[in-house]
Structure formats: structure tokens, C-alpha cells
Structure 1
Amino acid sequence: MADTVISLVIKRTSDLLIQKIVFLKGVRRQVERLQNDLVRMRCFLKDADQRQDDDERIRNWVSETRAAAYDAEDIIEIFASKVEFFTKKKGLVTKLTYYPLKIVNLYKIGKEIESLQVRLNDIADSREKYGIKNLGEGMATHGEELQRIRQSPPFSEDKDVVGFGEITNSLVAELLKEDRNRRVVSIIGMGGAGKTTLAKKVYNHADVRTRFNCRAWVCVSSSYDHKKMLRAIIKQLNEMSKELLEMLEQMEEEDLERRLYKDLQDKCYLVVLDDVWKEEVWDCLARAFPDVNTSSRLLLTSRNRDVAQHADALSKPHELKTLGQKDSWQLFLKKALDHGANSGCPPDLEEVGREITRRCDGLPLAITVIGGLLLAKKKLKSEWEKVLNNFSTHLSRSRSGVSAILELSYADLPANLKFFFLYLGLFPEDSVISVPKLIHMWVAEGIMQKRDAENLEETAAYDDVERLCSRNMVQVAEMTVDERIKSCRVHDLLRELAIRKAEDENFFQIHDTRDDKISAKSRYLAVHVLPWDENYFGTSTPPLRSLLFLNVHDFSLSFRSFRKLRILDLENVKLPYNLPKEIGKVRLLRYLGLRHTSIARLPHSFGCLRCLQTLDIRNFEPVIVSNFIWKLESLRHLYAYGMECDVPLRIEGLRNLQTLSRVRFDDIMHNNMITLTSLQKLWIWVDDKSEIDKLCLHLSEVGSLKALCLYRTQGREWPQSLAGLSKLHHVTELKLIGRGLRMLPPDFPPNLSRLSLKHTNLTDDPMPVLEKLGQLSFLEMTDATYGGPQHMVSFGNGFLQLKFLELSRLYALHEMNVEKGALPQLQCLRIRKCPSLRKLPEELKHISTLDVIELVNMPKDFISGLDADMVSSVPNLRMF
């Protein structure tokens, strides 16, 4: 990970030299020399990053190198921002006044860079002094060590399997499908979820053994050896002789591939490839598996969804989730007490037993390891409590290597994903983390790289969230109906791994007890519990880049010592006062979260935060803002529920602004919106006096605007005319929110593809109007009522492009009517909390494109009454 940090520092210092050349010209040569030193240091870091787990000296060296790289960036950026503040957009007299300060700062940065170069030389010398010159020699990899722990024959099936019945039947059915082509069936899930156990259960299933006259099993693992894998499969398919063994050892890869291909060519075979990590591994092996119309199958297990989809794009991977509470408890009883769940648990042990099970967070491997440990101990509450109190230690020391198995997933991450995974460890246990918020934070860290003019850092950050989810390092908590990730969470045991790794690398610190000491080296700090002493940072303030207060309610904070902060999150903190004016001196600040705080006013010094990218002031009470927003030239996202301004809000010229949320109608009309050349999302409060037609004309030339939301205070009438919406040719997403909306607009934006109607009470069924929107692919109706006949929604022959439909909290909805031929492109239907709905329309089973039906918080009677044909006709029926 240090390699990533230093690479980014080199890139950012290069960018700073280009962008701030006017302000850095006095120290340009020193900055360039500093860059060169970091480039030389980087040459040793890739190997060091991979080996630091095995040697504390290497770990300390990596930590010192990373800290020096951070300091280099801080020195240059702080200096550039100060000089820029002294000189930019100021008159000659002011520039002359500030000239002495500029000279002083030029001298100071020169001294700081000299000191840092001496430090880098010392770090370079210590690399040889500590004997870590040749870091790549003589060290076993994680994969080699773990493979010895994990490897077991496929016939040694675990009999204490819980919760796999349904997925086992599904996998067996897919293996036995009447399809003459060679197909790949995949099982994916996080480390320790039971993929291998499930694969063994399927491999040894009676129907599977009968169907396939040729079977083989190979554990691929992260330390992949192509020739070794080929030999292992060939050995299972042939009677071994000394001559054949010697011949196999001498064969090259191509010869081994030809031999395996020949062995399988005329057979209906099943080969299990257990624990495949890389797409290229499949590409190598696939050449040796013939596809010759024999109905052969490969069963593949992987932690990475992308690997499974790469192996067979037409076969949907079977995702193995962690166990629920009931199944976790059943497995725990089997492993800890060596008897069936029906026998129950001794009353005096149940409370601590359930807490141990909860800590395992549904991971079968963890339950198995802890259960086996308890089985060997006396059935005493005190003994079980000792295990609970040393839970993490037992998992890391166990022969089955729970922590080691999870660490493999971490070790396999690219360096930038390691950074992001560790960052997630800052959030409290069981946190549901907003993905947009997470993305804004990651972008503020500066580690994301802009791909091109159309794909900003936010796009790259979202892709990395998806990659972490695909690798089963992060769990999806909530998705939109069109499968965009809204929120995520980290499994408790993976979070503990992130915290342990972060502590080893001095990456971040979590303050979660009142007597914790804040490290003077902390760059990233999450405060979960405040100490009694308000001055808990002590006399030496750490060089923090991120400071997150989570689950903290009251505290006071001085900003004088936090000049290096990029991220400050105070969400849900009840500050006893407004932010002090010293906040304006935190000039590198890029993310400021003030959501649900008690702040009533932002100081005028906010105008100095020229690097600020995200400002979140979504509060229940209005926040008074002075006339400074227009000065925040780097601002990308402004979220505000009740922002009130001393003077009309000025936002003209904010060319980086992408999101402007919940500003008032009058504030929009006072600004020339054409100057907001990056604006994509706009959320506006309207009232009964707002002239929507004039607003739409005002916005019609904002070519970047894609998403518009009009929000009306609950219970009040909407403006009479919404006809101007037809002028918004660039808008593809529209939200209309508010009880007073009784009639749909006569026209919609002509290129509209996404529409949300929330908290409305329309007088007529909206479907006859909406079905005529030719490009509509996404429709959401939430808590919306209308005066339609018998509380019915009717889908006729329109909606030709609709792919995603969500009906949520429609409490009076009794019936859905779908005519024959309606919704021909529908892919996903989500029905959430519609308690009066009697049944699903039968016509849904005739929609060939329908892949997913999600039923969320629906009544038991509704679920039990589902038509069997309907259930079987939809590939994915999900119930939550």
C-alpha cells in the first residue's frame, strides 16, 4: 500500500508543480529533487509491501517511508496554498504588503524540504542496515502456507452442514441440466463462508456421481502453479505407474494440456476447481477442458465474482451468503456441544453462547473453529466467557487459520483497494455505510485518479466499491432496483482484520475507550468514544488527514492544530456552539460533513476553504450561510436541507459543482446557471408561488444537467403549471416529491429515462400517461396515492422500454393489472411494504425478460399465496 501512497504523492507533487508553478518557482528545484528521492524509494516498496507481514523491521521501514511521503505532500501543498492566498486575485498594494510573508514562507519550506531529504536518506540507509536489501528471497507466500492448512480430499465431507439444503439442490439441478455444451457452474462467497464444504456436498451427491463417469477435484489456491494443477487432475483420471509419474514430471505445459485434453475428450466429466483467484488462471486451465457435446461440467469456487463470470458469462454464479441467526445457532450447537440443535443448550451457557455466535457474524468457518475449541473445554460458563473475551486471539491462532484465510483476500487486493478496505475499518461495527458518502471521502483523499473528461474520480471510486463487493471483502447492504449499490457494510471479522492491519502499518487509529491514547503519528482517526478530558489530543497534535466522529454526541474542538486535515466528519454530533472561525485556516480541507448537527451558522471564514469539494449541511434546523459559497472554487457537492442566506445565494462561476441539493427556488433564479458547467444533479424546494415554467426556461441551457428533483413541503399545493418541463432536453432523471401534487405534468422532458413519484396524491391513475413516455426505463412510486378505481395500478400496452419498476409503501394498493404484451422489457420488479396487495398478476410469468422479483416487508399471507408457476418462471425471486 505504501507503493500506492508514494506513487500518488509523486503524481500530486508533479501536478502541484504544474498548477502552482507561479507560487512554487522559488523552491522548484528542491521539490523536483524531493520527487526524485521518492521515485528511488518506490523501487523497493512493491516487494516490501508484500513481505511486511513476515518481518517487523520491514513493516516499520514501510511505515516510515509512507509517513515521509505524506509529509512531503503536506509541506508542498500547505506552502502553495499560503502563497496563493497571499497573491491570487489581490491588488498591487496588497501583494506588496504580503511580500515579506511570502519570503518568510519560502525560506521555511526550503528548510523543511532539506530536513525531509535528510530523513529520506536515513530511511534509505536503514534499509541496508537492517538487512532488508533483498526482500524477495527465501520467503514462502501466504498461499503456499495456507494451502497446506486447507487442503483435504473431496470425499472427506463435513456432516455438520447447516443452511446449505436449498443451494445444494439448485447446484445439483444446474449440473444435471440437459445441455450438451460444456458449462461452468460457480460458487462465490467470502473466505470461510463454506464454498469448499458446499462444493464437496455437491461433488459427492448421489445423482452427480451417477451422471458423471469421470470426476476430478483440484485446489487451485492463490499460489497457482499451472503444471502442478494439470498433473494433479491427470493423476486422478489415470492409474498411476512409476513410468507415468516420471513422464508427467518431465512434460512441459503444452504437453500436459494435450494429455489432459485427450483423457477427457470422450467423457462426460466433472472437474471441481476449488478456490480460483484470477481470471488468467481460468484462461490457462480452460484450454485443457474439451467442449465436445458430452454435457461436461466444471464446478468452480472463488471469492471473486468477476472470475466466475469470466469463466462462463451465460451461467449466473451461486452466491453463498453468511448464515442467518437461526442457522448460525444450529451450527454452533453441533460444533460446541456435539449434538443436534434439538437437544438445546444448557440454560447457564445460552447467553454467552449466543454472544459468541453473534461475534462470528454468520461465518461458518469461524463458528466451526470456535465451536471445536469449546467442545474440548469444560461446559462451564467461566470457560466459555474466557473464549468470548479472547475471541479474536483464538481465531488468529487456530490451526484452521480463520484469520489467515481472511488475510489471503486482503493480500490479493491491488494496492489502492487495500487502502480503501482499510479505510472502511474506521467505521463502527455493524455500520451501514452510505456509498455516495464513502466515494466523496475517497475522492477527498486524493487517491482516485481522473480517467478522462467524462469519467471523473467519482466514477473510479464507485468502480472500486463494486470491486471490493465482487471480491467479497465488502457486503452490499442496499441496492437500487437497477442494481446500483446504495450502501454497504463490512463483515465483523473482516473489519477486525482491517483494524489489525491498519495498526500494524500505523495507518489509522480508532479511539473507542475513554482511556485510549491518541498516537502522535496518527494520520487517520475515528473517535467512537470521547474521554473525560476534553484535551485528549495532548500537547503533540497528530498530523491528521481524516478525522471522523462516529456515535459521539457532545464535544468541543479547536481547529488551530489540524492544518493538514482533508476530511472532517461530524455527522450526528451535537456541538455546543457553532463552528469557530478558525475552521477557515484548515485550508486543505476537502470534505466536511455537518449532517444532523446542531450548527446554526457557518462563519464567514469558510470562504478560505478553496480546496473544499463536499459540504454536507443537511440539518433539521436551518443553517445560516453568509455570502461565501461562490468563493469555494473546488466545490463539487453541496447538500443542504434548509440553508438560509443573509443575502441572495451566489453560486455563479462554480465550474466544478456537480451536485446542488435542496436549494430554494428564488436562490436558483438569482443566479446565471449557465456558468455551472459541471452541474449534473439539482434538487430544488418549490412553493405555491414558484413559477416552474420560468425555472425550466432558466435551466434549459444548462447542458450538463442530467437529474432534477422538485420538492414540495408536505401538505401544500403545487404550482399550477409544470408544462415547462418539456423544455429540459438534457434532463434524463426527474423526481417529483410532495403531497400537494394532484396532477401529472402535461409534458415531461423529452429524453426522460428515470422517473420517481414520491409522497404524491394524484387524482387519477398515472399509468395511462406514464406508459406513453417512450424512453422511460426506470419508474419508482413511493408512498403515492391516487383516486384510481378499486385502488388498482394498470399497465397497458405502453412502457415499451421500462426495465426497472419499484412500488414502495403504496398502502392502499389492492391490485396490479398487467395486460398481455405490457412491460415487454421489464427486468426487475421490486415491491416494498404494500400490505394491501393481494397477489402478483399472472401475466408477469409471460414476460421473458423478467429476471428478478424482490419482495420486501410483504405480509406472510401474500408470500404464502405466491403462485408456484410464478415462482418457477422467474430466475431470481428474493424475499427480505
Structure 2
Amino acid sequence: MADPVISLVIERTGDLLIQNIVFLKGVRRQVDSLKNDLVRMRCFLKDADQRQDEDERIRNWVSEIRAAAYDAEDIIEIFANKVEFFTKNKGLVTKLTYYPLKIVNRYKIGKEIESLRMRLKEIADSREEYGVKNLGEGMTTHGEELQRIRRSFPLSEDKDAVGFGEITKSLVSELLKEDKNRRLVSIVGMGGAGKTTLAKKVYNHADVRARFNCRAWVCVSSSYDHKETLRAIIKQLKLLDMLEKMQEQDLEERLYQDLQDKCYLVVLDDVWKEAAWDCLARAFPDVGTSSRVLLTSRNRDVAQHADALSKPHELKTLGQKDSWQLFLKKALGHGANAGCPPDLEEVGRAITRRCGGLLLAITVVGGLLLSKKKLKSEWEKVLNNFSAYLSRSQSGVSAILELSYADLPANLKFCFLYLGLFPEDSVISVRKLIHMWVAEGIMQKRDAVNLEETAAYDGVERLCSRNMVQAAEMTVDDRIKSCRVHDLLRELAIRKAEDENFFQIHDTRDNEISAKSRYLAVHVLPLDENYLGSSSPPLRSLLFFNIRRGYGKDISLSSKSFRKLRILDFENVGMGYNLLKGIGEVRLLRYLNLGGIFIGSLLDSVGCLRNLQTLDISFNRVSVSNFIWKLESLRHLHARYMECYVPLKIEGLRNLQTLSGIRFDDIMHNNMITLTSLQQLGIWVDDRSDIDKLCMHLSEVGSLKTLHLYCDDMSLWPSLAGLSKLHHVTELKLSGSGLRMLDFPPNLSRLSLKDTFLWNDPMPVLEKLGQLSFLKMKDAYKGPQLVISRHGFHQLKFLELRDQESLREIQVEKGALPQLQCLRIRRCRSLKKLPEALMHISTLDKLELEDMSEDFISGLDADTVSGVPNLRIF
């Protein structure tokens, strides 16, 4: 973890230099020197980072460097903020008044930087004392040793493996397809999921052996050696002797020539890098012999790079039934049909659940239990010390998973460890995660168009593609909406982070906060009222989860430990208003989520948070004083309903991208053209709201793409005729009962209707929206029948009907919905059947049915659904 932290601090130090070049005048030379010191230290840390797991002295040494790096960033940022306060937007007289303070602070930061440089020099000079003088000389890394242990061979097939029946058939069928071209078939999944086990089953399948007269298996691994891999293939194919003297190019050419007339199958197991495939692909001829390459990888991007036309086979973790069957085979040494002794079943199932469906974990723990006495007390020891048993041996599960972590680039290591702060089994909002990562400075701005948010979302996708994170919910356009981390990978993140004093999780009532942890997640709140007030580390992130404080006083933020906070998250907690005391002193704060604070109004001191990027008060109606306009760095303001006793000023917030929960009157009192970055806007309207005037006001906000109008339950909807003026709005959401007339922006592609309680069938109007590709209706229509006419919705790709309690019938005329890809029906419990016309929609790929009536499910017509590739019934 040392290298990621130092790398990020060096990048952020450079950004601070650029952003605050005026304010740092006079100390820039010292800051540059400090940055260069960190760069030199980072070069050595690349070596040290590989040895931390093996030597506690090195961990301590690295920890000192990390603390110094954090202090460097804090010193520069705090100074820049102070100088900015003294000079920005001040008149000449005020600037002259503050000039002595500016000089004093410049002198202080100069002394602090010099002190920090001396500290770094002492750390560098202490290498011999820490025993890290000749680090890496003549030694192999822990990862290389583990790679050797993990090398796979096709003959040692696990006969006990379960749950691979269907996917084995699918893979064999794809390998045997009548296609003369060379094709690549791939298996992807997280470490330990059973990719190699599955590949062995396919490789040794009787039909596969009969088809391919020339077969080879090589384990590529992350420490890939191209020449050795080529030699291994040639040896197995028995194509050539005298391999040792041949050069790399000669090996490639000879292999290519000898495979010209062969129907070959080559398995490339455990491919980590795209470059490894690119090198090997040159040696595999594509000359019409129906040859195949089977590739396994933890990284989906590697598989897709190898063959963009072949969809990777995603190997998921085992389900509960298959996990239990495999566990019985491994732990008891006989077939699953023999069952489990009654006194061991409860603890055995608990152990199986802890394995999370990971084949390797079940195999390792099962093998461990097989060697022990069949006593409940022995099995309980394993359950109670589960993580320790998995990581005990060098080739244990934790070590295998750690290979995936070691292969991550620096910023993704940081992102992955950050996920460990969230509680077990958490479904994590990707939107929230992105805001946090950006606030922490993990992601760097790419250019004027691709902001840090884009880079942060790419980070989520890359972690998912590497099977370090699992997508929990997807949007209709296949973006990741929420994600989760497998329990064993979360435990890996926690272990790595706590070993290196990166973060701490408080989950018992007697924990003490480490003096070195900069990131703290509180899962259990102790009885000690001064629990956080006595904390000595300058925390950067403080997150609370599921806390219900029904006693004593609230925690106070007035402690100096919180002055350097960047992230403060109170979502899903239950604490009182006094908690925000001192919030105005947390001047570096960039992310503030007050989701669990019981407050009726927001403190004026929040207006002092000039660095705040995200403010989330979407928990309830809240009164807000007129200070929002002061938050000049604000990007995202998520609110349910903001009330202000004077017109709420928001104009001039040039960084604001998201604004929700604002009243119609407050919008009309602001010059919206000044919000040059605004993309999403949510407004409360009532029957007095002039939508035509509103849309005239918004028509020149060219960046606006998404508009959400909420109508209070106690009011009637105004006319929406003015929406036709919003040519640049492509997404519209309407929420609130009593909607009568439907009018829309002309270029609308996405529409959501929620709780609108329409009485007339809206489809005759909606199906004529020429660019509409997404339609979601939740409790939007109260009638019994929806009718989609011939050629209706000619661009629609996604349709969701949810909570339509009165809906009994959907009629779809032949020729309608010609582009539909996904149909999702949820909790429409009066619906009798699916429209028969679905069988004529050739583009339909997904049909999802959730919480429907038993009569509906039992009456599903096989002909209607048989042509849908992905049918999911929940």
C-alpha cells in the first residue's frame, strides 16, 4: 500500500502547486523540493512494498513514510486555504490588513516544510537500522513463489467439483462448433472461483479429446515469460527437440509452421495481461483447421481484448446447494448423498456460508476439516478462526486472492482498500462511491470534459472487470448502479489496510482508535462519550454505519482530530442535531452526508466549507439558510426538499452539476445561466407554478440534460406545455399524483413516471416519442389495460412496469417495439399474462419478472418466452 499512497500524494502535491500557484508564491521552491524528496522515496518503496508482508520492520519503516506523505499534503493544502482566505475577493484595504498574517503563515509553512524534509531524510537514513539496506538483492518476491505453487496442470482434475454441469456443456459445445476459423473461448471469474478446475473438465472431456489431435496446456501467470511459454507448448505438442538454444522469434516461427495443418487446442490458463495474449497469438495460425484457444483470466478486459467477438463465460461463485455438496465431499471424504452428522450440520453450514460460494475456500477448509476429528468443538474452532485458517499456509485462499490485489495499479489499490470500510454484505451506491473517491483525491481530472467523476466510474468498472468487485445492480444502459465486495475479498482489504495503518474499523465496544489510522469507519459506537474527541490521528475520512445512539450526548466535531477531514458520512445512522457542532471548522471537508442526522435546519456554519464538493441532505425536509451560494466548490447537492425563508441564492456556482430538492420559486429568483456545469436538476412544483416561464428560464442552460419535477401530494399538477422548449433535455422524471396532461421535451430519450396515478392509458401519447429509448413507470397508471399499437415505440430499448396494481392486460400489436431489448415487470400482481406479441420481437434479450402472482408464473406460455435468451424470475 505504500506505493499507492505516496504516488497519490505526489500527484496531489503537483495539483496543489498548479491550483495554488499564486498563493504558494514564496514557498514554491520548498514545496518543489519536498515533492522531489517524495519521488525519490517512492522509487525505493516500489521494492519495499513487496517485502512488507514478510518483515514487520519494513512495515514500520513504510508506515513512517506514509505518515510524512499525508502530513506534506495537509501542510500545503491548509496553507493554501489560509492564504486564499487572506487574498481572494478582498478589497485593497482588507488585503493590506491581512498582509502581515500572510507573511507570518508563509514563514510558518516554510519552517514546517523544512522540518518535514529533515524527517524524510532521517527516515531514509534509517534503512540500515530497519534492516532494509539491500532490499531485493538475490531474492524472489512472495508473489513469484506463490505463482510457482499455483502453476496448473491438466491431468490433476478435481473429481469432486460440483456446479459446473451446464457451463461445461456450453464450453464444450462452443469448442466443437462447426467453424473453420480459429476461435478463442474464455472463462473469467474472481481468484479461487474454479476457472482452472472448469478448464480441466473441458480439456479432458471425451468429445474434446476426440476432436483435437493436437493439444497443449500452459499456465501463463502474472510473471509471464514468453520464451518459456512457447517452449512449454512445443514440448507438449512434441513438435521439436533442441529447444534450449532457439531464440524467441525462432520458437514463434517454428510453432506457427508446425501447427499449420493441425486441428489444435491450446489452453492458456491464468492470463493476466493483454500483452501476454498479443505475444502468443502470433504463434497460433488461423488457416481453416477449426482450431481453438481456451483462455482463463481474472480480468474480463483481457478476454475481450483477445477476441472481441467472443463473449467471455462468467464463472460465478457456487450457490448454497452446490457449496454444501462440495463441502460435504471435502470435509467428510465421501459422497454428498451420505449426508452430514446432525450435530455437525449447523456449524458446517455456517462454515460454508463464510466461504461465500468460493470453490477454493470450500476446498481448502474442507480439506482442513477432513484431517480433524469429527467433533463439533473442532469444527467450531475453524469457524471462529476462519480467516486465520484460510491464510495460514502460503498457498492458502488469502494468498491466492492477494495476487489480484498485487496486480492492481496504485490508484485502484487505494480504491479497493477504501471499499473495506463498508460493512459486510453492503450494497454500495456507485454514485456515493464516486463522490467519495473524488473528494479523497484518488482520481485525477483528465481534461475539461472528462472530470474526476468519469475517472472514478472507470475505476469501478475496472475493479469489476478484474473480479475484485461484483456489480449488484445495473442500469438499463449497462452502467453499474451499485456494487458489493465478496466477504473474503473484504477481509483481504481489511487485513491489508490495518496491517499498514491505512484505516481502522471500529466494530466492537472496546476498540481503541489507532494513533496512525487516517480513515475510520464506525460500525459500533462505544459508551465512552469522548471516544472520538480523544482521538489523536488527524482523520481524513470518518464514516458511520447503522448507528442508533439513544443515550448520552452526541459526538462533537470540535476536536482538532477532525480539522483535516475530507469525508464525513452519517448515512443510515440515528444521531442528534448537536453532532454538527464545530462543522464550520472542518475547512478541508469535501464530502458531507447527513443522511442520518435528526435536524430541522442546516447550521449557517456549513457555509464556511468552501472546499465542499458534495452535500447530501436527502433524508427529509430541511430548512436552509441563505448560504448555499458561498459553497463555490460545490458539485452535487442532493436534497429531498429545501426550504428557505428568503429566496435561496444559488447563482454563480459554476462547478454545480447536480441540484435536487429546490423549490420552483427559488429557481425563478436566480440567474440559472450562471450554473454553467449544471446537468441534473430536481424541482418541487405546485398548481401555481408557471412551467412555461420555468422552461424559458432553463432553455439557455445548455448543459442541463436531466430534469426531475416533483409535485406535492397536496397540490395539483400545473400544465407542462412549456417542456417543449427544452431541446437540450434528454431525460425527464415526473413524480406526484394527479397528473393529467402529458407534454415532453422534443429530444427526450429517457422518461420516468412515478406515483402519477394516471387514469387514461398513456401509451398512445408515449409511443409517438420518436427518440424515446427508456421508459419506466412505477405506480404511474391506475387503469386495467395498456395498449401499444403497431409500430409504436420504434426506438424503445427498455420498458419497466412496476407496482401497477390495477393492470390486468397488456396488448402489444404485431410490429410494435421493434428495438426492445429488456422488459422488466415488477409487482404487477393483477396482470394475467404476457402479451403474445413478445415472441415476434427478435431483439428482446432480457425478460425479468419479479414478485408476480402465482397464477401469472404458472400460466407463462413456453412459446412466448422460449426465444428470450435471458429469462429471470424472482
Say yes or no: TM over 0.5: yes
SS for the counterpart of 1:107 is helix
Give the aligned partner of residue 515 of structure 2.
520
Give the conservation status (yes or no) of the 8 Å contact 1:782–1:810.
yes
Q: What is the CA-CA distance between 1:571 and the residue it aligns to?
A: 1.2
Give the conservation status (yes or no) of the 8 Å contact 1:556–1:576.
no
- Kindly provide the amino acid, as one letter, of the partner of residue 410 in structure 1: Y
Distance in 1 between residues matched to 2:227 and 2:866, nearest whole Å: 43
Q: What is the CA-CA distance between 1:92 and the residue it aligns to?
A: 4.5
Distance in 2 between residues matched to 1:515 and 1:871, nearest whole Å: 56
Give the aligned partner of residue 304 of structure 1.
299
Give the conservation status (yes or no) of the 8 Å contact 1:771–1:796.
no
Q: What is the CA-CA distance between 1:317 and the residue it aligns to?
A: 0.9
Q: What is the CA-CA distance between 1:835 and the residue it aligns to?
A: 3.1
Q: Does 1:334 align with 2:329?
A: yes
Give the conservation status (yes or no) of the 8 Å contact 2:521–2:544.
yes
Give the conservation status (yes or no) of the 8 Å contact 1:182–1:297.
yes
SS for the counterpart of 1:618 is strand
Distance in 1 between residues matched to 2:688 and 2:533, nearest whole Å: 55
SS for the counterpart of 2:660 is strand
Give the conservation status (yes or no) of the 8 Å contact 1:743–1:763.
no
Deviation track 1:246-276 (CA, whole Å, cap 9, x = no partner) reads x111112222222222332222222211111
Deviation track 1:593-650 (CA, whole Å, cap 9, x = no partner) reads 1013212222212121100000001123x22211111000000000111222232211
- Kindly provide the amino acid, as one letter, of the partner of residue 364 in structure 1: L
Question: Which residue of the other structure, out of 776, 784, 801, is the alignment partner of 2:772?
Answer: 776
Distance in 2 between residues matched to 1:560 and 1:419, nearest whole Å: 27
Q: What is the CA-CA distance between 1:697 and the residue it aligns to?
A: 1.1
Q: Does 1:272 align with 2:267?
A: yes
Distance in 1 between residues matched to 2:83 and 2:602, nearest whole Å: 25
Give the aligned partner of residue 623 of structure 1.
622
SS for the counterpart of 2:24 is helix
SS for the counterpart of 2:127 is helix
Question: Which residue of the other structure, out of 849, 852, 856, is the alignment partner of 2:850?
Answer: 856
Distance change in 2, residues 1:157/1:681 (3 Å): same
SS for the counterpart of 1:115 is helix
Give the conservation status (yes or no) of the 8 Å contact 1:578–1:601.
no
Give the aligned partner of residue 643 of structure 1.
642
Give the aligned partner of residue 781 of structure 2.
785
Give the aligned partner of residue 408 of structure 1.
403
SS for the counterpart of 2:243 is helix
Give the aligned partner of residue 229 of structure 1.
229
Give the aligned partner of residue 319 of structure 2.
324
Give the conservation status (yes or no) of the 8 Å contact 1:809–1:834.
yes
Q: TM-score, normalised by structure 2?
A: 0.95
Q: Does 1:190 align with 2:190?
A: yes
SS for the counterpart of 2:403 is helix
Give the conservation status (yes or no) of the 8 Å contact 1:161–1:331.
yes
Q: What is the CA-CA distance between 1:425 and the residue it aligns to?
A: 0.4
Distance in 2 between residues matched to 1:821 and 1:135, nearest whole Å: 71
Distance in 1 between residues matched to 2:51 and 2:525, nearest whole Å: 36
Q: What is the CA-CA distance between 1:136 and the residue it aligns to?
A: 4.0
SS for the counterpart of 1:114 is helix
SS for the counterpart of 2:425 is coil
Give the aligned partner of residue 797 of structure 2.
803
Distance change in 2, residues 1:818/1:310 (3 Å): farther
Q: Does 1:723 align with 2:721?
A: yes
Give the superposed CA RMSD.
2.2
- Kindly provide the amino acid, as one letter, of the partner of residue 221 in structure 1: S
SS for the counterpart of 1:25 is coil
Distance change in 2, residues 1:51/1:872 (3 Å): farther
What does residue range 212-291 of structure 1 map to in structure 2 within 5 Å? 212-238=212-238, 244-245=240-241, 247-291=242-286
Give the aligned partner of residue 73 of structure 1.
73
Distance change in 2, residues 1:344/1:845 (3 Å): same
Deviation track 1:23-50 (CA, whole Å, cap 9, x = no partner) reads 3324233222222222322332333334
When structure 1 is superposed on structure 2, of 831-840 and 344-353 the one drifting more is 831-840
Give the conservation status (yes or no) of the 8 Å contact 1:795–1:823.
no
Q: Does 1:423 align with 2:418?
A: yes
Deviation track 1:98-124 (CA, whole Å, cap 9, x = no partner) reads 444334333322221121111011122
Distance in 2 between residues matched to 1:6 and 1:143, nearest whole Å: 22
Distance change in 2, residues 1:258/1:29 (3 Å): closer
Deviation track 1:767-816 (CA, whole Å, cap 9, x = no partner) reads 222222222222222222143xx523425303222222222333333343
Percent sequence identity over aligned pairs: 82
- Kindly provide the amino acid, as one letter, of the partner of residue 656 in structure 2: L
Give the conservation status (yes or no) of the 8 Å contact 2:761–2:787.
yes
SS for the counterpart of 2:732 is strand
Give the aligned partner of residue 829 of structure 1.
823
Q: Does 1:710 align with 2:709?
A: yes
Q: What is the CA-CA distance between 1:755 and the residue it aligns to?
A: 1.1
Give the aligned partner of residue 682 of structure 2.
683
Give the aligned partner of residue 37 of structure 1.
37
Distance in 2 between residues matched to 1:467 and 1:812, nearest whole Å: 43
Distance in 1 between residues matched to 2:237 and 2:100, nearest whole Å: 83
- Kindly provide the amino acid, as one letter, of the partner of residue 738 in structure 1: G
SS for the counterpart of 2:849 is strand
Q: What is the CA-CA distance between 1:690 and the residue it aligns to?
A: 1.5
When structure 1 is superposed on structure 2, of 420-429 and 311-320 the one drifting more is 311-320
Give the conservation status (yes or no) of the 8 Å contact 2:533–2:556.
no
Give the aligned partner of residue 438 of structure 2.
443
Give the aligned partner of residue 874 of structure 1.
868
Deviation track 1:729-748 (CA, whole Å, cap 9, x = no partner) reads 11111111122213322xx2
When structure 1 is superposed on structure 2, of 635-644 and 755-764 the one drifting more is 755-764
Deviation track 1:139-162 (CA, whole Å, cap 9, x = no partner) reads 324553223323343132222222
Distance in 1 between residues matched to 2:399 and 2:705, nearest whole Å: 46
SS for the counterpart of 2:481 is strand
- Kindly provide the amino acid, as one letter, of the partner of residue 401 in structure 1: G
Give the conservation status (yes or no) of the 8 Å contact 2:530–2:555.
no
Q: Does 1:762 align with 2:758?
A: yes
Question: Which residue of the other structure, out of 505, 518, 536, is the alignment partner of 1:541?
Answer: 536
SS for the counterpart of 1:873 is coil
Distance in 2 between residues matched to 1:825 and 1:366, nearest whole Å: 43
Give the conservation status (yes or no) of the 8 Å contact 1:268–1:296.
yes
When structure 1 is superposed on structure 2, of 49-58 and 587-596 the one drifting more is 49-58
Give the aligned partner of residue 315 of structure 1.
310
SS for the counterpart of 1:612 is coil
Give the aligned partner of residue 169 of structure 1.
169
Distance in 2 between residues matched to 1:862 and 1:149, nearest whole Å: 53
Give the aligned partner of residue 101 of structure 1.
101
- Kindly provide the amino acid, as one letter, of the partner of residue 556 in structure 1: I
Distance change in 2, residues 1:793/1:595 (3 Å): farther
- Kindly provide the amino acid, as one letter, of the partner of residue 548 in structure 2: H
Distance change in 2, residues 1:143/1:833 (3 Å): farther
Question: Which residue of the other structure, out of 323, 348, 354, is the alignment partner of 2:343?
Answer: 348
Give the aligned partner of residue 88 of structure 1.
88
Q: TM-score, normalised by structure 1?
A: 0.95
What does residue range 410-489 of structure 1 map to in structure 2 within 5 Å? 410-489=405-484
Distance change in 2, residues 1:297/1:841 (3 Å): farther
What does residue range 589-600 of structure 1 map to in structure 2 within 5 Å? 589-600=589-600
Deviation track 1:748-778 (CA, whole Å, cap 9, x = no partner) reads 2122111111222223322222222222222
Give the conservation status (yes or no) of the 8 Å contact 1:193–1:322.
yes
Distance change in 2, residues 1:733/1:142 (3 Å): farther
Distance change in 2, residues 1:261/1:839 (3 Å): farther
Distance in 1 between residues matched to 2:649 and 2:626, nearest whole Å: 7
Give the aligned partner of residue 14 of structure 1.
14
Give the aligned partner of residue 205 of structure 2.
205
Consecutive unaligned residues in structure 1, runs of 5 or more: none
Consecutive unaligned residues in structure 2, runs of 5 or more: none
Q: What is the CA-CA distance between 1:558 and the residue it aligns to?
A: 2.7
Distance change in 2, residues 1:20/1:220 (3 Å): closer
Q: What is the CA-CA distance between 1:379 and the residue it aligns to?
A: 1.4
- Kindly provide the amino acid, as one letter, of the partner of residue 818 in structure 1: V
- Kindly provide the amino acid, as one letter, of the partner of residue 844 in structure 1: L
Deviation track 1:555-575 (CA, whole Å, cap 9, x = no partner) reads 422333111100000112322
SS for the counterpart of 2:543 is strand
Q: Does 1:382 align with 2:377?
A: yes
Distance in 2 between residues matched to 1:340 and 1:713, nearest whole Å: 62
Q: What is the CA-CA distance between 1:79 and the residue it aligns to?
A: 1.5
